[in-house]
Amino acid sequence: MSSRVKLAIGAAVVVAVVLGWFFLFFSPAGDELDDLDTDLSEAQSEEAALTSQLDSLRRLEAEAPAREATLRRLNAAVPEQPDLDVFILEANEIAGLAGVDWLSVSPTPPAAGGAPGVSVISLSIEIQGGFFQVLDYINRLEGLERLVITDGLNISAGAGDTAAGTDPDAEVVDSGTGAPTLSVTLSSRMYTRASAAAGPGDPTAASPESPGTTAPNPESTEPTTPPDTDAPVSTEPNADGAV
């Protein structure tokens, strides 16, 4: 056997050994390495997604107090129930702070208000006072936590006593400022999440002396006229002989 043949046989054996090692060891290891690379890429993608979710949760946790405060304000502005008794007490309280005479409020039952799940309660509020006191009351009314929107005003000068006499058609004048006392009817509305069928009762006036009731208070809405001090006093005895 010549040296060339031996060299060829040796080369063939080496090639066969290399090919065998490649298919038996290197190729499976390479496939496994590719699988590991794929798993690593998937794990890195999942880690990035989890990191993003964690950042979102941390932001939500940091914003939770502000969100809760906003939710409380919204619940106060548009409560789940009509809560007319609470509103009447607040309306009477701000009347005292503004310096007006709060006479009555007439609510209607909740009705469909346009927004889904929200009902509207129409209000007619009667007050008396000076111009600036009335303006202060309206500002305080719209500053309540309960959302109250005033759509219109009906204003007239009060009639009753004056410093000059007791003419029932004369203007009521504030003794401190000289300005006439105004009788004002506010056409307002507020909202509730209660069903439109869950009405607050008959839409009759409630007086500040009995908040939360629906009985009208005619004495609080009619101006009174004190007795005429210049009228003669009767001296005729009565049935008991008293003068």
More confident residue, 217 or 103: 103
CB 78: neighbour CB atoms within 10 A? 19
Pair 149, 78: CB distance under 8 Å: no
Query: Above 80 in pLDDT, residue 109?
Result: yes
**pLDDT (average), residues 215-243:** 41
Q: What is the pLDDT of residue 227?
A: 42
- pTM exceeding 0.75: no
More confident residue, 20 or 160: 20
More confident residue, 10 or 101: 101
**Mean of the per-residue pLDDT values of the chain:** 73
Q: How many whole angstroms from its chain centre is CA 145? A: 7
Query: Above 50 in pLDDT, residue 54?
Result: yes
- pLDDT tens, position by position, 75-101: 889 999 999 999 999 999 999 999 999
Query: Above 60 in pLDDT, residue 221?
Result: no
Query: Above 50 in pLDDT, residue 225?
Result: no
Q: What is the pLDDT of residue 20?
A: 64
Query: Above 50 in pLDDT, residue 226?
Result: no
Query: Above 80 in pLDDT, residue 190?
Result: yes
Q: What is the pLDDT of residue 68?
A: 87
Query: Above 50 in pLDDT, residue 157?
Result: yes
Q: What is the pLDDT of residue 122?
A: 94
Residues 6+ apart with CB under 8 A from 141: 91, 94, 125, 148, 150, 186, 188
- pLDDT tens, position by position, 142-155: 999 999 999 999 99
Homologous superfamily of the 84-221 domain (CATH): Ribosomal protein S6/Translation elongation factor EF1B (3.30.70.60)
Query: Above 60 in pLDDT, residue 159?
Result: no
Percentage, residues of the chain above pLDDT 90: 33
Its sign, for the CA torsion 66, 70, 75, 77, is: positive
Q: Quote the CA–CA distance of 47 and 4 in Å, as a whole number.
A: 61
What string of DSSP letters covers 159-213?
BS--SS---TTSBPB-TTT-PBPEEEEEEEEEEESS-TTS--SS---B-TTSTT-
More confident residue, 106 or 33: 106
Structure tokens at 192: 């509730």
Q: Quote the CA–CA distance of 126 and 100 in Å, as a whole number.
A: 10
